[in-house]
A and B are shown apart, each in its own frame.
Chain A
Amino acid sequence: MTELMPAEGVFSLIWLLIALPLAGAIVLLFGGRRTNSWGPYLGVLTVSASAVLGVLMLLGLLDRPAEERTVEQTLFTWVFVGDFQADMAFQLDQLSMVFVLLITIVGALIHVYSLGYMAHDPDRRKFFGYLNLFVAAMLLLVLANNYLLVYVGWEGVGLASFLLIGFWQAKPSAAAAAKKAFIINRVGDVGLSLAIMLMFVTFGSVSFDDVFRSTSEASEGTLTAIGLLLLLAAAGKSAQFPLQAWLLDAMEGPTPVSALIHAATMVTAGVYLIVRSNAIYNAAVWAATAVVIVGLITIFMGAIIGSAKDDIKKSLAGSTMSQIGYMIFAAGLGPIGYVFAIFHLLTHGVFKAGLFLGAGSVMHGMNDNVNMRRYGALKGLMVITFITFMAGYLAIIGIPPFSGFWSKDEIIHAAFERNAFIGIATILAAGITGFYMTRMIAMTFFGKPRWEEGVHPHESPAVMTIPLIILALGSTFMGMALLFWGNIESWLEPVTGFASEPTPLPTMFYIGVTLVVVIIGAVIGWITYGVKPVPIDPPHGSWLTRAARKDLYGDAVNDVLVVQPSLATARYLSWFDDKGIDGFVNGIARWVGLLANTLRRTQSGLVRSYALSMVGGVFVVVLALLLVRMN
C-alpha cells in the first residue's frame, strides 16, 4: 500500500475538477431562461477546463516517483456521528487519474458534439445542465476517498442518468425507460449501501485506506459478503446479469447521452468499484468467482442481443453490455486481470463513444430513424461518419493495430492464464462481436438504400464530425499508445497489483486463434447482411433471434420473478395498510385530535384566564420542587 501524499501544488485543485462542472450545472439549472443563449457554451467550457486541469494533474503525477502518486485532499469532516466519521476528501491516484481523463476528455468531446446534435432542442440549456451534473457526479465517484462519498457520486450519476434518459419525457417510452433504469439501479444501490454498512461494522471506517489496510482482520465470510454486495451494486450500475434489463431501454435518451453515460463512463462505474475494491476480492475467492461468472454470462447475453436488434442504438447497447461484461470478467480474474479491465475500459470508452456518436450522426441525417433496416448505402453520403465509424468498428472487433485489439487480446490471454475453458468462451464471444458489428455496418453503410420517403441523408455539421474524428483517432492509436508508450501495467500496478502466469501455449497462438474466429464471425455477418439483400420487414427468424429481440426475455423474467410478486405484495400491504395500520393510526389520530380540541379550549383569549393558568403553573412548579425536596 502506497503512502497518502498531501495535496500540494496543482493537486490542491482536485476539488476544482468537480466544482467546475458542478458550478456549470448550478448556473444552468437555476439560472433560468437568462442563460439560454450562452448556457450550453458555459457547459462545454467547464468540462473542458476540468479536462485541462486533469491533464495538468497527469503531468504532475508523472513527475513523481510511483510510490508518491497517491494524493489525498481533505476538505472537511463531512459526517461525524458517534464513532462514524466520513470526510469530504478526495484521493487522486493512478486509477482515479485515468478515469478523470476519460470522463473529462470524452465528456468534453461529447459536450461539443451536443452543441450540434441538440441545436434545435428547446430545452437544450437543461440538457447541458444535466450533462454537467453528470460529469460532476461521476468525477466525485472516482475521486472519493471513502465509500460513503462514492455512494454520493453513485447516486448522483444515477440521478443524472435518470434525468437524461427521460429527457424527452413527453414520450411515454422515454419516461418509462427512465423509471425502469432508476428502479433497477435502486436494487444495485441497496447492495452498495449494505456493503458500506457492513464495512463500517467490520472495519470501523469506510475510507479506502482504512478498509484496504485491515482486510486481513476480517473473516473471509464477511469479505465474501461485502464482495457479493459490491458485485450487486456493480451489476446494477453496469447493466450486468441479472440487472441488465434497463440499459437497452435507456437508449430512449438523446444519443450523446447514450455515448457518454451509457457507453463510455457511467456504466463502467461498476468496473471501477470492483477494481478499486481489489483488496477485498483478492481476499474473497468466491466473490471473485461470482464476478467472473456474472461477467461471462453478460458477455454472451449482450452479444446475442446485439446480433438481433434492428435498432442501431439498441444493438450498440447490447454490444456495450457485452464489452462491459469483458471488463467485469477481467476484474474477477484478480491481479492478472485488473489492469486489463481498466485498459479495456479506456479503449472501449473511446471507441464506443465514437460508435455512438457516429450512430447519432447517421440518425441526424436520417430524420432520427433508428431502424437499420431503413438505412443502407450511406458510405458515400456520409464520408466522415463512415470512416470514423469504421475505425470504431475495427477497434471493437479487435483487428490490429486498432485499440480494441490490444485490450481485448490481453483479457483473453489473461483468461487462458486462469482456465482454458473460460478462455475459449471469451474467444467465441469475440467471434459473435465480429458478427454483429459487421451486420451493423453492412446494414447501415453498404447494400442498397432502403430509406423511408422524404429522407435525404446528409453529412453532419463540423461541430459533430470533429469530435468523431478525434474519437476515431483515439480508437485507432490509443491501444498502442497506452500499452507501449504509456506502459499501463506498471502505471496501474501500485493501485491494483499486477501478476502474470505462464500459459501452456505461446502468446501468438491465442492472438492468431482469436483473429481467425473474429474474421469468421465477420465473414458470416457480411454474407448474411452485406451480400444478400436486407428485407425491410424483419424475417421471423430462429427462436434465438426472436428471444434476443425481446432482450432475451429479461423483462419477462423480471415480470414473473419480481414485478408480479411485488405487485401482489403491494396489494396485500395496501390492504393491510388500509385496514390494519391506518385503522390503528387513524385511531390514534382521532384521539390526538380530540385531545387537541380539548386543550385548545383553554386558549380562551381572555387575559384573566391566562393569568389564572399562570398562577396554577406557579403552584405546580412550587409543589413539584417541594415534593422533590421532601423525598
Chain B
Amino acid sequence: MNTGTFNPPEIDYLAIAPILIIFGTAVLSVLVEAFVGRTARRPVQLVLVIGSLLVALYFVISQAGTRTITANGALVIDGPALVLWGALLVLSLLGAMLMAERTLDPSGDVFAARAAALPGSEDERQFTQRGWVQTEVWPLFLFSVSGMLMFVAANDLLLMFVALEVMSLPLYLLAGMARRRRLLSQESALKYFLLGAFSSAFFLYGASLLYGFSGTVSLPGIAEAISAKPSQGPLLILGMALLVVGLLFKVGAVPFHQWTPDVYQGAPSAVTGFMAATVKIAAFGALLRVMYVAFGGIRWDWEPMLWVIAILTMFVGSIVALVQTDIKRMLAYSSIAQSGFIMLGVIAASAEGLSASLFYLIAYGFGTIGAFAVISMVRQSGGEATSLSAWAGLGRTSPVIGAVFAVFMLSLAGIPLTSGFVAKFGVFAAAIESGDTWLVIAAVVASIIAAFFYVRVIVLMYFSAPAKEPAVVAVPSAFTTIALAAGVTVTVVLGIIPQPLLELVANADVFLR
C-alpha cells in the first residue's frame, strides 16, 4: 500500500472558503471568550457571528456556478451544495438574530446565566441577579453551522460523520441552555445527546460495513463498487440500512422521531427555530447526496423502504399533532410530517425530485424559523406562552402578529399563494413523474389531516374568546423583527413569485460525482 512518497492533497481553498470562514470564526470566538472582558464579549461576538455569516454568504454567492471536487475527493462543491450553503447561511443569520434577542424576556436573555449552575440553586439565583449573560452560545452556534456546511458538501462517509458530530454536539448543548424551565431544557438536551449518540453509532457502523463492502468511504467509490458487483448481498444492504438510519434520525423520520417533540419543547425557542430549520436542511442535503450519489444505482432496493418510512412519517406526524396542547410540540410534530413530505422528493430519485426537495427545504426553513420567532414573542408571566389555550383570541388582541403567524401556518399547511404550496406541489409532481402516484395520494391525504391542525391554530387565534390568562405579545428588538420580517416576506414572495428560486434550484439539480 505505502508508496513511500506523500502527495499533499490539492485543496481549492476558495471553493471551501465558507466552511473555513465559519470554522475559523468559531475558533476565534472561543478565544474571544477567553480574552475579552465580560461586558464587551456580547457585542464582539455578535459582530463576529453576523459578520462571518455575511462574508461566508458572499463567498457562496460569488462562486455560483462553481462545480468542483476538492480535498482528495472528500468535499464536493456542486449546485445542490451551493444552494444548501446559501440557505443554511441565511437561515443561520435569522437564527442568530433570534438568539441575540434580549428585550423579550424581562430578565434579559433567553439563555441561562451559567449553564453549569444547578437549576433552582442559590448559585443560579445569584448569577441571574447579577445580570450575567452567557456568550458561549456563539462559538457553539458557529461550530454547529460549520458542521452543517461541511455535512452537505461531504463526499465521503468519514468526513460526513465528522461533520455530523461537529454539527450535532453544539446543538445538544444549546438545547440545554434555556433560561426558564431549565429542568425541562436540560432533560431535553440529555435525551437529544443520548439518542443522537445512539444514531451516530448506527451511522458509523453502517459506514464501516460499507467500507467492508466497497473498500472505500467515498460516495462515488461506493457507487462504483455497487455497479461492479450489483448482487453483492447482506454487507451492502446492512451497511446502507444503518447509514440511512443515522440520517433519518437527524431528519426526524418515524420511527426515529421521538426526540423531536421533547427537544423542540425543551430547547429555547430561538434555538429550536434555528435547529428546526437548519438541521432539517443539512440532514436532508446529506441524505439526498448519499441516496443519489452512492446508492443511486440500487434505488429499486431502497425506495420501498423509504416509501414505508415516508408514509409512517407523514401520518404519525400529522395525526399526533392533532392532539397536542403545546404549540412547540405541535410544531415539532409538524416538522416530522414535513419530513415525510420532503422524503417524496428523495424517493423520486430524479433531477426534478432533487430540485423540488431543495425548494421545499428553503420554504420550510423560512416558515419554521418565522413561526418560532412568533412563539418567542408570545408570552405569559412565567415565560413563553406555549400552551395552545393561551393563544386563544390572540389574532384579535394582536392582529399583526396573529396575521403573520397565520401566514406561517398556511404556508406549512400548503395553501396556495404561500411558499408551502409551491413546495408541496413541486415534490408531489416530482414523485408522480417518477411513478409514485400512490405515495402522492397518501401524501395528499396526510396533508389534509395536517392542514386541519394548522388551520385549527388560526381558528383559535381569530374565532375563540380570549383565554382567562391571555398571552401577550412582547415588543421585540430589531433582531427578532428582522428575522420575522424576513421569514414572512420570503414565505409570501415565494408563494407569489416562486419562479426565480425555482429556476435557481432547477439549475442545481445534479450532484457532482
Q: For residues 577 through 611 of chain A, which have their beta carbon under 8 Å from a beta carbon of chain B?
A: 592-593, 595-597, 599-600, 602-603, 605, 607, 609-611
Instruction: Report the Cα distance A228→B384, complex, angstroms.
Output: 58
The segment out of B26-34, B98-106, B115-123, B190-198 that lies at the interface is B190-198
Contact pick for B497, options A78, A595, A614, A624, CB 8 Å = A78
B26 → chain A, closest Cβ, in Å?
A: 29
Whether the pair A76, B249 counts as a contact (CB closer than 8 A) is: no
Question: Which residues on the B side are within 8 Å of A78 (C-beta)?
Answer: 497, 499
Contact pick for B237, options A593, A595, A611, A625, CB 8 Å = A625
Instruction: Report the Cα distance A613→B238, complex, angstroms.
Output: 18
Q: How many residues of B contact A (CB 8 A)?
A: 43
- Of chain A, the residue at the smallest CB distance from B231 is A629
| A500 CB-CB contact with B under 8 Å | no
Instruction: Report the Cα distance A608→B259, complex, angstroms.
Output: 11
Instruction: Report the Cα distance A534→B154, complex, angstroms.
Output: 92
Whether the pair B320, A617 counts as a contact (CB closer than 8 A) is: no
| A616 CB-CB contact with B under 8 Å | yes
- Of chain A, the residue at the smallest CB distance from B400 is A30
| B511 CB-CB contact with A under 8 Å | no
How many A-B residue pairs have C-beta atoms within 8 angstroms? Tell me.
Answer: 96
Question: Which residues on the B side are within 8 Å of A593 (C-beta)?
Answer: 322-323
| A563 CB-CB contact with B under 8 Å | no
| B218 CB-CB contact with A under 8 Å | no
Contact pick for A626, options B237, B300, B500, CB 8 Å = B237
Contact A621:B241 (CB < 8 A) given known A77-B499, A593-B323, A614-B256? yes
Instruction: Report the Cα distance A605→B316, complex, angstroms.
Output: 17
Instruction: Report the Cα distance A611→B202, complex, angstroms.
Output: 12
Whether the pair A607, B255 counts as a contact (CB closer than 8 A) is: no
| A622 CB-CB contact with B under 8 Å | yes
Contact pick for A622, options B194, B238, B449, B499, CB 8 Å = B238
Contact A610:B244 (CB < 8 A) given known A620-B308, A621-B305? no
Question: Which residues on the A side are within 8 Å of B198 (C-beta)?
Answer: 611, 614
| B261 CB-CB contact with A under 8 Å | yes
Interface flags, B316-328, vs A, CB<8A=1, else 0: 1001101100000
Q: How many residues of A contact B (CB 8 A)?
A: 33
Whether the pair B233, A629 counts as a contact (CB closer than 8 A) is: yes
| A618 CB-CB contact with B under 8 Å | yes
Instruction: Report the Cα distance A282→B265, complex, angstroms.
Output: 66
A283 → chain B, closest Cβ, in Å?
A: 34
Whether the pair A616, B255 counts as a contact (CB closer than 8 A) is: yes
Contact A624:B323 (CB < 8 A) given known A610-B195, A617-B256? no
Whether the pair A602, B241 counts as a contact (CB closer than 8 A) is: no
| B304 CB-CB contact with A under 8 Å | yes
- Of chain A, the residue at the smallest CB distance from B502 is A80
B252 → chain A, closest Cβ, in Å?
A: 12
Whether the pair A610, B319 counts as a contact (CB closer than 8 A) is: no
Whether the pair B237, A622 counts as a contact (CB closer than 8 A) is: yes
Question: Which residues on the B side are within 8 Å of A561 (C-beta)?
Answer: none
Question: Which residues on the A side are within 8 Å of B343 (C-beta)?
Answer: none
Question: Which residues on the B side are within 8 Å of A627 (C-beta)?
Answer: 304
Whether the pair A629, B261 counts as a contact (CB closer than 8 A) is: no
Whether the pair B241, A625 counts as a contact (CB closer than 8 A) is: yes
Instruction: Report the Cα distance A625→B320, complex, angstroms.
Output: 27
Contact pick for B499, options A76, A613, A624, A628, CB 8 Å = A76
Question: Which residues on the A side are within 8 Å of B254 (C-beta)?
Answer: 617
Contact pick for A629, options B195, B199, B301, CB 8 Å = B301
Whether the pair B259, A599 counts as a contact (CB closer than 8 A) is: no
- Residue of A81, A597, A618, A628 with most partner-chain B CB within 10 A: A618
Contact A624:B304 (CB < 8 A) given known A80-B499, A610-B258? yes
Interface flags, A517-544, vs B, CB<8A=1, else 0: 0000000000000000000000000000
Whether the pair B305, A624 counts as a contact (CB closer than 8 A) is: yes
Q: For residues 303 through 328 of chain A, which have their beta carbon under 8 Å from a beta carbon of chain B?
A: none
Interface flags, B233-253, vs A, CB<8A=1, else 0: 110011011101100110000
Question: Which residues on the B side are within 8 Å of A77 (C-beta)?
Answer: 499
A492 → chain B, closest Cβ, in Å?
A: 34
Whether the pair A622, B319 counts as a contact (CB closer than 8 A) is: no
B192 → chain A, closest Cβ, in Å?
A: 10
| B309 CB-CB contact with A under 8 Å | yes
Whether the pair A592, B191 counts as a contact (CB closer than 8 A) is: no
A410 → chain B, closest Cβ, in Å?
A: 44
A75 → chain B, closest Cβ, in Å?
A: 10
Instruction: Report the Cα distance A182→B155, complex, angstroms.
Output: 59
Whether the pair A76, B497 counts as a contact (CB closer than 8 A) is: yes
| B302 CB-CB contact with A under 8 Å | yes
Question: Which residues on the A side are within 8 Å of B319 (C-beta)?
Answer: 592, 595-596, 599
A615 → chain B, closest Cβ, in Å?
A: 9
- Of chain B, the residue at the smallest CB distance from A627 is B304
Whether the pair B499, A599 counts as a contact (CB closer than 8 A) is: no
Instruction: Report the Cα distance A600→B319, complex, angstroms.
Output: 9
Instruction: Report the Cα distance A609→B194, complex, angstroms.
Output: 12
Contact A603:B238 (CB < 8 A) given known A80-B499, A596-B323? no
| B262 CB-CB contact with A under 8 Å | yes
Q: For residues 286 through 323 of chain B, which have their beta carbon under 8 Å from a beta carbon of chain A?
A: 300-302, 304-305, 308-309, 316, 319-320, 322-323
Whether the pair A610, B259 counts as a contact (CB closer than 8 A) is: yes
Contact pick for A611, options B194, B323, B500, CB 8 Å = B194
Interface flags, A5-47, vs B, CB<8A=1, else 0: 0000000000000000000000000000000000000000000
Whether the pair B309, A628 counts as a contact (CB closer than 8 A) is: no
Instruction: Report the Cα distance A597→B316, complex, angstroms.
Output: 11
A608 → chain B, closest Cβ, in Å?
A: 9
Question: Which residues on the A side are within 8 Å of B302 (C-beta)?
Answer: 625, 628
Contact pick for B241, options A597, A605, A618, CB 8 Å = A618
Q: Across the A-B interface, give the 8 residue pairs with the lowest CB-CB distance, nearest first.
A: A617-B255, A624-B305, A610-B258, A596-B323, A622-B241, A621-B241, A596-B319, A625-B237
Q: A81-B425, A614-B256, A621-B248 are in contact. List 9 more A-B contacts (CB 8 A).
A: A76-B500, A603-B262, A605-B262, A610-B259, A611-B194, A616-B255, A618-B241, A622-B238, A628-B301
Task: Show the binding face of B for A, using Cβ within 8 Å.
Answer: 190-191, 194-195, 198-199, 202, 233-234, 237-238, 240-242, 244-245, 248-249, 254-256, 258-259, 261-262, 300-302, 304-305, 308-309, 316, 319-320, 322-323, 425, 449, 497, 499-500, 502
9 A–B contacts from the bound complex (CB under 8 Å): A596-B320, A599-B316, A599-B319, A611-B195, A614-B202, A616-B255, A618-B245, A621-B309, A628-B304
